[in-house]
Amino acid sequence: MRGLTGDSDESPTTCMGLETQAAAADKLFTQRCIEPLCQATFGVDERLYVCPNCGGLIDIERTMGFHDSSALIGLWRERRTSFDAPDRSGVWRFRELLPFPGDASIVSLQEGNTPLYQARHSAHYCNLDLLSLKHQGCNPTGSFKDTGMTTAITQACRLGSKLVICASTGNTAASLAAYAARAGIVCAIMVPAGQVSHAKLAQALDYGARVLEVEGNFDDCMRVMRQVGEDPSVYLVNSINPFRIEGQKTVAAELAEQLGWRSPDHLVIPGGNLGNSSALGKGFRELFAWGLIDRMPRITVVQAAGAAPFARLFTESAGNLQDGRPGRELVNEPDPHTLASAIKIGAPISWKKAWRSVIETGGRVITVTEQEIADAKAMIGRDGVGCEPASATTVAGIRRLVKEGLIGRNEQVVAVLTGHVLKDTEYAINYHNNALVANWRSEVEGAGRIIGHFPNIPMRVAASKEVVQKLLQQLLEEDQGNKA
């Protein structure tokens, strides 16, 4: 297989000419409806979000495996030392997994290549020997969305799209805005008015997106976007778009590589619209099928208790599975609530794909409370890592699973942190000042004041050397007392 080349300078143009790959993408890859009774197939150049025959979700499949997995692993490792732009992207470095021809012009911000941190405080908090945090917040726009946006916007360019759109709780919007700007395509984003963090909104505005603030929640935005997306002159890049999932699935390869081409025992992921859990499940499924790893991790999805239609389906389906499928369809949560605004979603589009990820790996779907999310987030901060609230559902969930004996103390556990700590600073400031309030109707799950169990209140001091020195001395004594 030949390597691909791209601009190695810092030119502002990120659409790069690539050399020809060994085989054309339209022969190697196909789009297939995931509904077992349909399974209709389509070419990868067809602009589809759902199956035109039955409305099912679409998967992209590689029709051939790899002859020599160790050569592939070697090639991917070699690219880490390359200065070619596609090689420096943590997504395009794994381009053999992606449904694009070798001559595709890719739109990249050098996404991926995110760290896997050991987290001592968080591990202790969960009662685990070790805990690893895969920090997808260390992407160019501060969330995991970039790994899928690079492939979705590359496909938008291939299809000649002039206008790209999405509905978003904020991170997809920021990511789309940045990648559309890089590609020189107009973009419009729909966000629930007053429910998106300022940081995310600020990003979208700065990157030049047209921002439509909708009077409604995320699910209303998504419903309207899907209707608008039927118009062939626009291209919808929510995670219902299978090209988004393709980019996001490469995180499985990156993580397996970081672990020496092994799967962890458990992989724990926050669940909102359920694209990420779908993508990581697909990524690991493919690595396993092609002999790159020898087993799958158990995938657990964690939802906030007030926005948990998927967890409810899982719990109610226990003991009532038919060929691994739930006994019923997912019932939407009409009025979801959580302060983790990124996952305030009641009608998750990709639930059938996420279901597969959970069931075929022997994982589960659980919920955590607002209080658990807030405390877990503070603990992740203590590791010097930090994340946005939605990401902290993972550590909160792991703590619960260890307590219930469903994760063993010495098992290898990876939590996927999906967004950067600076994505929602108001939440952090309020938590540390004991002013975080879930201010919705008292009868609704999780309402009320969140107690800052690990608060860190700023100290107002006089501008005086003596006062400050005295305080610093106290701090040292406190620290020694804590360590004694």
Which residues here bind ligand F0G, judged by CB under 6 A?
Answer: 143, 168-172, 239, 270-277, 342-343, 388, 390-391, 418-419
Least distance (Å) between residue 172 CB and ligand F0G:
4
Least distance (Å) between residue 418 CB and ligand F0G:
3
Angle CA 258–392–123, to nearest 5:
60
Q: Which is nearer to ligand F0G, 299 or 342 (CB)?
A: 342
Least distance (Å) between residue 360 CB and ligand F0G:
18
Please, is 62 exposed, middle or buried when counting C-beta atoms within 10 Å of its C-beta (0-12, 13-18, 19+)? middle
Exposed e or buried b for every residue in 24-47, given b needs 16+ CB within 10 A?
Answer: ebeebbbbbbbbeeeeeebebeeb
* Residue 332 and residue 309 in contact, taking contact as beta carbons nearer than 8 Å: yes
> If we measure between CA atoms, which residue out of 364, 354, 346 comes closest to residue 306?
346
* Residue 189 and residue 204 in contact, taking contact as beta carbons nearer than 8 Å: yes
Least distance (Å) between residue 182 CB and ligand F0G:
18
Least distance (Å) between residue 176 CB and ligand F0G:
9
Q: Which is nearer to ligand F0G, 87 or 370 (CB)?
A: 370
Least distance (Å) between residue 218 CB and ligand F0G:
7
The SS3 assignment for 327 reads coil
Q: Which is nearer to ligand F0G, 139 or 154 (CB)?
A: 139
Q: Which is nearer to ligand F0G, 21 or 418 (CB)?
A: 418
* Residue 72 and residue 65 in contact, taking contact as beta carbons nearer than 8 Å: no
CA distance 473 to 465: 12
Q: Which is nearer to ligand F0G, 264 or 272 (CB)?
A: 272
Q: Which amino acid is at 10?
A: E
* Residue 158 and residue 128 in contact, taking contact as beta carbons nearer than 8 Å: no
Q: Which is nearer to ligand F0G, 108 or 391 (CB)?
A: 391
